[in-house]
Amino acid sequence: MAEFTMELNDEQKEIRDWVHGFAADVIRPAAAEWDEREETPWPVIQEAAKIGLYSLDFYAQQYFDPTGLGIPMVMEELFWGDGGIGLSIVGTGLAAVGVLTNGTDEQIGTWIPQMYGDADDVKVAAFCSSEPDAGSDVASLRTRAVYDEARDEWVLNGTKTWVTNGGIANVHVVVAQVEPELGSKGHASFIVPPGTPGLSQGQKFQKHGIRASHTAEVVLEDARVPGRCLLGGKEKLDERLARARERAASGGRNAAMATFEASRPAVGAMAVGTARAAYEVALDYARTREQFGRPIIDNQGVAFQLADMRTGIDAARLLVWRASWMAVNGRKFTAAEGSQSKLFASETAKKVTAQAVQILGGNGYTREYPVERMHRDSAIYTIFEGTSEIQRLVIARALSGMPIR
């Protein structure tokens, strides 16, 4: 087990600087254009693929970093560049992790390469979980998967919503109910291969922020997938369902929620990157903008805001790094430390970006300066991967041991 440390090693520093350079030289100059276009920034993703930044190998290397700091370090730098483009680059990872954690070796080797493609033919993937009536309430999923034993196929029906890369993905990973009476314990995940009849894109959402990231509904109408597309395989699913039936009356923690708990620090790192970017713009502006014959940073009202902004960002990063280290090293989140990191970092991003707009005044409210976009982008962090209210619920339950509602 790696010791927790605040000091990046030389290799990590090199990777951080490399990702930061890409964010500064490629992502930042393109951010305003793709935000305005509200389209997937394929040329930027392709540039990332050319240098190996958009690839399974790179993210696997960071994912298995024994210190736990690889993923949050990379996320912070990419989202320092831009939230929308950052999510376009890392969005495929949601589906890839789903396959890595639940799939067989054969499934991992078959499907994950198809999620990324290569530098000459870039692909993306989508993870489809939320539904119009089931966001935070994962037990209420209505998408059904029914096994056709005669043809060894699963038939999927339902509508997924808020899907990053939904409909444009080469590979979709879909969470569906196979045994509704078991609630969330009756879920399973399925690969929907490219070109599967019955899968289509529904509404594409026009969003407040992260507008360079494609978000849409995915509609499944009698979409048939081969039996081999059930992640983990039929035998493993049958064993899990049998255990769930035996324990149905005993309750216990939802395994899916435990997985989300471990992934939430990565979202916290995204929020830290956006907050840090806005803080740096505000700091530079306050040093150079003069009013009444002196830089506005000379005023306590501005200087104290900047002090609070920096303190909040550093505190958020510490919580994210602690949770990331705990997750990689198998430490139990006895106080919902994953949710703590996501909650504090996301709320910090909203606050810091709002303060940055205020410090820039009228300029901050215009699209001439990036803090306006950063403020819009920051709103998503308190919503996806569990709202702030859900994070507080998870933390309160962990602390009290009670089923707080």
* Identity at 18, one-letter amino acid code: W
User: Contact, 177 vs 141, CB < 8 A?
Assistant: yes
User: Which of 76, 337, 347, 385 is flagged as catalytic?
Assistant: 385
The dihedrals phi and psi of 122, each to the nearest 5 degrees, come to: -70, 135
Alpha carbons within 13 A on the beta-carbon side of 238: 4
Nearest Cα neighbor of 75 from 323, 270, 276 is 270
Q: How many CB atoms lie within 10 A of CB 46?
A: 16
SS3 content of the chain, % helix, strand, coil (to 5): 60, 15, 25
3-state secondary structure of 302: helix
3-state secondary structure of 229: helix
* Identity at 233, one-letter amino acid code: G
* Identity at 397, one-letter amino acid code: R
- Residue ranges in 170-299 assigned as alpha helix (H): 234-247, 255-288
3-state secondary structure of 347: helix
91: its two tokens: 């969005």
Q: Cα–Cα distance between 377 and 212 in angstroms, integer? A: 10
Q: Which residue pairs, CB below 8 angstroms and at least 24 apart, start in 225-229?
A: 225/153, 225/154, 225/156, 225/190, 225/191, 225/192, 225/193, 225/196, 226/152, 226/153, 226/154, 227/147, 227/152, 227/153, 227/154, 228/106, 228/107, 229/154, 229/190, 229/191, 229/192, 229/193
Q: Cα–Cα distance between 208 and 236 in angstroms, integer? A: 41
* Known catalytic membership, residue 385: yes
Active-site residue numbers? 385
